[in-house]
A and B are shown apart, each in its own frame.
Chain A
Amino acid sequence: MDLDLNETLKGVVDGLSEGFSDDLIEVYQSCDHTYIRVEAAAIVRICKYLKEKHHFIQLCDVLGTDRYTSEERFEVIYNIMNLRTQDRIFVKICVDEENPSVQSVTSIWTAAGWNEREVYDMFGIWFENHPDLRRVFLPEDYEYFPLRKEFPLLGIPGSIELPNTTPETE
């Protein structure tokens, strides 16, 4: 596939294929964005490399996706940006359905903290070495992960409490 890469992105792709040839799975482009698929085990090393050597100092977002496939069901996508050249890349890793767990990148970008909590909240993907991995939006004792495909659209009836409509009299 022909890649239309500028200087920064070319440096990234060349650097990764040199230093991380075992971990780099593919590089592709879609809708003017560059996607890099890597092995999940190497995510912290690769992110550290991208930040330190290629100045991708801003973590814009961390996303989860549920592809609903039998293998490598979940995907975690890191949207990172080089603030010197305004280049953006998406780093993707795949996570299995059984015991979904990846290394946290909070040691590299502190901003990942809440984003990873949100991914955990919605998909149940565990981030190891995260300083404070709790739910963000849903109640602490909630048992389900609502953005997983098998979760019903309207939720599980009675799983979130409604207020008491017969208040105690004083």
Chain B
Amino acid sequence: MGIESALGEGFLTTKMDALSNWARANAAWPMPMGLACCAIEMMAFAGPRYDASRFGSEVMRFSPRQSDVMIVAGWATYKMSHAIRRIWDQMPDPKWCIAMGACASTGGMHRCYGVVQGVDNFLPVDAYISGCPPRPDAVIHALMKIQDKIKTEHSVLLDT
């Protein structure tokens, strides 16, 4: 929409990687793994005041098969970790992970036998957010970091 009139009869050259990365970075749909109070801030992040739709990430997908970024918001117990990992495994590649808040990043104040001390024990985390809970701005910041990361990836041509 609009680009046709700008180009007229002409054409545009780009790299396949640049095009697909641009598309992926601006449509990173989150998988809301809301486990505790961080989930409330995550809702604010998606809501109109902080407006994640500016970054194409307002569509919280409750099906892992439709999502790209898992936001682990809250503390993960050992019991829950199996469910989280299972959902993570169901998400199609390429996928990214944000550990939101102190608990998801390190276990936070839940320094005890039942809580996994950081979800990076069983998930490949791309961005960590500090705070307890973090402000929605911080989640947007992490999302922008993920976008930067997506834009530098070689997505189409694999080196293998």
- Chain A residues proximal to chain B, CB less than 8 Å: 137-138, 146, 151-156, 160-165, 167
Contacts and interface: CB of A to CB of B under 8 A. Distances in A.
A1 B111 CA distance: 41
A163 B114 contact: no
A162 B116 contact: yes
Given A163-B86, A165-B122, 8 more contacts: A146-B114, A152-B113, A154-B111, A155-B112, A155-B113, A156-B113, A161-B78, A163-B82
Contacts of B152: none
Interface in B56-115: 78, 81-82, 84-86, 89, 111-114
B117 interface: yes
Contacts of B113: 146, 151-156, 160
Contact of A154 (B85, B86, B112): B112
A153 B112 CA distance: 5
Nearest to A168: B89
Contact of A137 (B86, B114, B123): B114
A165 B85 contact: yes
B117 A154 contact: yes
A163 B112 contact: no
A123 to B, nearest CB: 14
A153 B81 contact: no
Enumerate the 6 nearest inter-chain pairs by beta-carbon distance, A residue then B residue, closest first: A155-B113, A163-B85, A160-B78, A163-B82, A163-B122, A167-B89
Contacts of B81: 162-163
Q: Which of A153, A156, A163 has the most CB of B within 10 A?
A: A163
Contacts of A160: 78, 113-114
Contacts of B112: 153-155
Nearest to B78: A160
Contacts of B122: 162-163, 165
Contacts of A146: 113-114
A163 B111 CA distance: 20
Contacts of A152: 113
B117 to A, nearest CB: 7
A160 B113 CA distance: 9
Contacts of A154: 111-113, 117
Q: Which of B78, B89, B116, B121 has the most CB of A within 10 A?
A: B78
